[in-house]
Each structure stands twice: as structure tokens, then as C-alpha cells.
């Protein structure tokens, strides 16, 4: 018998890396369906562009490194990276945006460090931050949910919007962003932040149609869909409960304290948890087995760190949905977290100093 030493991810379940990645992609399908229903066919177009780019870049770099291509493509890690990035960006962002982001995630963040198991940062979130900093206008072109859209977009309109930034009828992305009230729409988190800077209180801001469902029209149900998918992953032992619970628990606790002090300027815990990318990040991104903490205690501290960072950046920083930055900062802290939370070796005796 031969004993093979392999890099992470290491799992205690009886599933291979390929099976784990397929479970992640499968658990994301209900949320993808909800997101496509709420925001249009652009979601599916971005997914096709991202996944095809991820596979092409993975194959190219593997060929350059003289590695076998098909076995490594079949681990489906590239598919999951493309999927997570595609659902994180605006559905009608220009086609070249997702291609640049996916190529950066696969080539620079994953393969440059040696491939799966060696990357220190979450590839999808590193690419998201790159796109957000380099192309801030394109990364904020979120259309309102279909229930609040002024113009109905067909599949052909979606294709035209992604590849030309105009619908087939000639409406620009800026015009498509107009809601039924004639106002340009943004995400609920961005709208709340902008209104606070303009001197409005949150109760006054919540009178807008975008907040008709509490956590944001459409966004509430989207986060519920990601939550259900995440619970399936926990039930199947694809991920463990420690990181998601720590992320959501620390975010809820910080939000509850701030909201109790002044609800006019601080978002409620329910809003924080069920708006933006909260459930997506807690269950599908922060739990990345390669870039997350590997010890049991460390995963709890890692999740708490992400939740606290998200609250601080959302409340005091310049970006309304802060999960990408929080995850990358926590990735940087993983070696330190693992060092101080590593379990004691069985039989290890602690030396006591002289009194």
C-alpha cells in the first residue's frame, strides 16, 4: 500500500474533492434560480461566461505547467470559483468584467500559488475586490428586482445588455436602473448608506419601494434561498456549522447592540442578515476549506472576525456590502489563528517554568 500526502482541503466526510465541489454547486442552484427570477436572465449569462472562462484559464495554466488537465478540471474547483463570482456581480455588468475577474481569480489567485490547496486567499473574493476597486461604476450597476423594474427584459434584451450595455429597444443600463418610482435603484444596503450621508434617518429611507420587504425587495428571499442551500451543505457534512454560525452570530450581535443604541442610524440585525451577500458569504464563501482556518476553535474565531469586520465596514467604511474585504482580511489572519488554536498533541507534556 502506498501512503500519499496531499495538500488541503482535508475533510472528515467520505466525499472526494470533486463530490464536495459538486455539492456546493448543487446547493447553490435554488438561490441561482431565485436570483435569476428576481434580477433577470443576466444572472445566467454571467454564469456561462464565468464558468467557461474559469475552465479555459485553468486548462491553459495547467498546460503551461505541464500538468494533466482533465483530472484537475474534474475536481470542479474552477466551476465553483466562477459560479461564486458570477452571482456576486451585477447581472448586467459588461461581458468583459466577469472575464477579467474570473481570469484573475484562476490565474493569479489560485494557480500562481500552486493550484487548489495552496492559495492563501479566496479566489472569488480576491477577484471581486479587484473589480470593485478597478471598475466601481460597472460593479454598482444593479438593476431593481423585476417587481420594481420599469422595463421588462427578455432573454434577447439580457444578451444585448450584457454585450452592448443597451437593451434591444435601445435603453441604456442607466435607464434600466430606473425603478417604477422614476428613481435610480441601488442595492438596499447602498441605498440606506447613501440616504444616511444625505441626512435622512433609516425610518425615512425605509419608505422607499426598495425596502418594501423589510430587508429589501427581493433580497430577503434571495438570502433565504442561500440559507436553505447552506443548511443542505451542513446536513451533508460538506461544510461545518462553526464558521457560518460564528459569522452570522457575531454580525447579529454587533448589529443588535448598535441598533438598540440608535435605530435611526444603525440597521437592524434582521436587515444585516438578510440583505446583501450575508447568507451567500456565510455558507458558501467563508467556508472555503483552503483559505479558512483549519482548527475547530480557529474556525469559530475566524467566523467571528469576519462578522465583526463586516459590521464595522458596513457601518463606518466606504463599501455597503463588506463581505469580500472581510473574508480577505480574515484569510490573512488564518496562519496566526491556526497557530494559537492548534490542538495539543496527544501525550504532549507542557513544561512548567521555575517558580
Query: Tens digits of per-residue pLDDT, 78-128?
Result: 999 999 999 999 999 999 999 999 999 999 999 988 888 888 999 999 999
- In a domain? residue 167: yes
Both 212 and 161 in one domain: the answer is no
> Please, are residues 244 and 230 in contact by the beta-carbon 8 Å criterion?
yes
Both 274 and 131 in one domain: the answer is no
Q: Domain boundary residue among 185, 201, 235?
A: 185
pLDDT of residue 169: 87
- In a domain? residue 12: no
Both 150 and 213 in one domain: the answer is no
Give CA–CA dist 187/314, Å, rounded.
13
Both 161 and 220 in one domain: the answer is no
Q: Domain boundary residue among 151, 185, 219?
A: 185
pLDDT of residue 181: 53
Both 148 and 212 in one domain: the answer is no
Q: Which helix (H) or strand (E) holds 328?
A: helix 323-341
Both 39 and 91 in one domain: the answer is yes
Both 215 and 175 in one domain: the answer is no
pLDDT of residue 59: 95
- In a domain? residue 211: yes
The residue range of the domain holding 49 is 17-185
Both 243 and 102 in one domain: the answer is no
pLDDT of residue 184: 57
Burial class (CB in 10 A: 0-12, 13-18, 19+), 91: buried
Q: Total domain count for the chain? A: 2
Q: How far is CA 97 from CA 22, 107, 110, 121, 134, in A?
A: 25, 15, 19, 20, 10
Both 227 and 134 in one domain: the answer is no
- In a domain? residue 72: yes
Q: How far is CA 290 from CA 35, 61, 117, 183, 319, in A?
A: 27, 20, 5, 43, 26
pLDDT confidence bin for 355, thresholds 50/70/90: very low
Both 25 and 137 in one domain: the answer is yes
Residue in the block written with cell 463570482: 85
Both 141 and 205 in one domain: the answer is no
The answer, yes or no, to whether the previous bond of 77 is cis (omega within 30 of 0) is no
pLDDT confidence bin for 354, thresholds 50/70/90: very low
Give CA–CA dist 166/233, Å, rounded.
38
Amino acid at each position: 500500500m502506498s501512503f500519499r500526502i496531499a495538500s488541503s482541503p482535508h475533510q472528515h466526510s467520505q466525499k472526494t474533492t470533486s463530490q464536495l465541489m459538486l455539492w456546493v454547486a448543487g446547493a447553490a442552484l435554488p438561490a441561482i434560480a431565485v436570483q435569476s427570477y428576481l434580477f433577470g436572465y443576466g444572472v445566467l449569462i454571467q454564469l456561462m461566461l464565468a464558468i467557461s472562462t474559469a475552465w479555459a484559464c485553468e486548462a491553459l495554466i495547467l498546460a503551461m505547467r505541464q500538468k494533466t488537465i482533465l483530472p484537475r478540471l474534474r475536481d470542479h474547483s474552477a466551476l465553483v470559483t466562477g459560479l461564486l463570482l458570477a452571482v456576486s456581480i451585477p447581472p448586467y455588468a459588461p461581458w468583459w468584467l466577469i472575464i477579467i475577474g474570473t481570469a484573475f481569480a484562476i490565474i493569479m489567485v489560485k494557480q500562481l500559488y500552486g493550484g487548489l490547496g495552496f492559495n492563501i486567499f479566496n479566489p472569488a473574493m480576491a477577484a471581486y475586490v479587484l473589480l470593485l476597486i478597478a471598475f466601481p461604476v460597472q460593479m454598482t450597476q444593479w438593476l431593481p428586482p423585476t417587481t420594481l423594474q420599469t422595463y421588462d427584459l427578455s432573454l434577447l434584451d439580457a444578451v444585448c445588455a450584457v454585450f452592448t450595455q443597451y437593451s434591444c429597444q435601445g435603453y441604456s443600463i442607466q435607464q434600466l436602473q430606473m425603478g417604477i418610482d422614476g428613481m435610480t435603484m441601488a442595492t438596499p444596503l447602498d441605498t440606506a448608506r447613501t440616504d444616511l450621508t444625505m441626512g435622512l434617518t433609516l425610518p425615512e429611507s425605509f419608505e422607499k419601494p426598495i425596502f418594501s420587504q423589510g430587508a429589501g425587495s427581493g433580497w430577503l428571499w434571495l438570502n433565504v434561498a442561500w440559507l436553505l442551500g447552506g443548511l443542505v451543505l451542513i446536513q451533508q457534512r460538506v461544510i461545518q456549522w462553526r464558521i457560518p454560525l460564528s459569522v452570522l452570530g457575531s454580525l447579529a450581535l454587533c448589529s443588535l447592540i448598535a441598533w438598540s443604541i440608535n435605530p435611526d442610524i444603525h440597521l437592524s440585525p434582521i436587515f444585516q442578515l438578510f440583505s446583501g451577500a450575508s447568507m451567500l458569504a456565510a455558507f458558501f464563501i467563508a467556508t472555503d476549506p483552503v483559505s479558512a482556518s483549519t482548527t475547530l476553535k480557529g474556525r469559530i474565531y475566524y467566523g467571528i472576525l469576519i462578522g465583526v469586520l463586516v459590521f464595522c465596514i458596513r457601518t463606518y467604511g466606504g463599501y455597503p456590502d463588506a463581505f469580500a474585504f472581510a473574508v480577505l482580511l480574515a484569510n490573512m489572519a488564518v496562519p496566526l489563528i491556526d497557530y494559537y488554536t492548534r490542538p495539543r498533541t496527544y501525550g504532549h507534556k507542557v513544561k512548567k517554568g521555575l517558580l
